[in-house]
Chain A
Amino acid sequence: DVKVTQSSRYLVKRTGEKVFLECVQDMDHENMFWYRQDPGLGLRLIYFSYDVKMKEKGDIPEGYSVSREKKERFSLILESASTNQTSMYLCASSSTRQGGNQPQHFGDGTRLSIL
């Protein structure tokens, strides 16, 4: 079974803090993704990565950055946390084997509150 592990289920931080959300997958997947999920807005893609040290902006990258130094690990960084970044953050991974027709597998999410 694919396992995507997010370091924290719940996190409370203060405005202006630098926040790190960590994600690790154990299936040697090439692709990794960060989303946020908000009521009424569905899942929105923040950043994704197709390979080590590679990153691409998603639909809402402002205020975020990412790091992928190792294949299994993808970190999301909130440079200076703001209250509008309070949300559920979801990490996902997928393989590029078999011609790209592979599902994304998600972690259980980090519910982040910025006070």
Chain B
Amino acid sequence: DAKTTQPPSMDCAEGRAANLPCNHSTISGNEYVYWYRQIHSQGPQYIIHGLKNNETNEMASLIITEDRKSSTLILPHATLRDTAVYYCIVRPRYNNNDMRFGAGTRLTVKP
């Protein structure tokens, strides 16, 4: 079962930042936080991951709290194509087969 808690749904206005929260209060020291999204009828798409430092790439930013018990995925300028289910996953560093997807957050970007 998933080790993360996410809100079931969120809305965001097009062009605004989308901030998606995730709680992972039982995370251990060697576990990473990964984010994926799944657009309808497609496979999950990798977005970003991190251990304890904040991370940024061309898609998003990941902010991890100092105690590592929660994180926020930020899409800086959401577009309609960002409408998807977003999954936050906690994954052990050396366990390649451990991908426990929970229910995720359904983000709807509105015009």
Contacts from A to B (Cβ < 8 Å): 4, 31, 33, 35, 42-43, 45, 48, 50, 56, 58, 90, 92, 94, 96, 99-109, 111
Contact = CB atoms under 8 A, between A and B. Distances in A.
A104 to B, nearest CB: 6
B29 interface: no
B96 A31 contact: yes
Interface stretch (B13-21, B37-45, B66-74, B75-83): B37-45
Interface residues of B, number: 21
A109 B43 contact: yes
B97 A100 contact: no
Contacts, number: 57
If over half of A's interface residues share one DSSP class (helix, strand or loop), that class is named, otherwise mixed; here it is strand
Interface string B36-76: 00000111111001010000000000000000000000000
B52 to A, nearest CB: 13
A80 B103 CA distance: 30
A35 B101 CA distance: 11
Interface of B: 2, 32, 34, 41-46, 49, 51, 93-97, 99-103
A41 B45 CA distance: 19
Contacts of B102: 42
B46 A100 contact: no
Contacts of A102: 96
Nearest to A35: B99
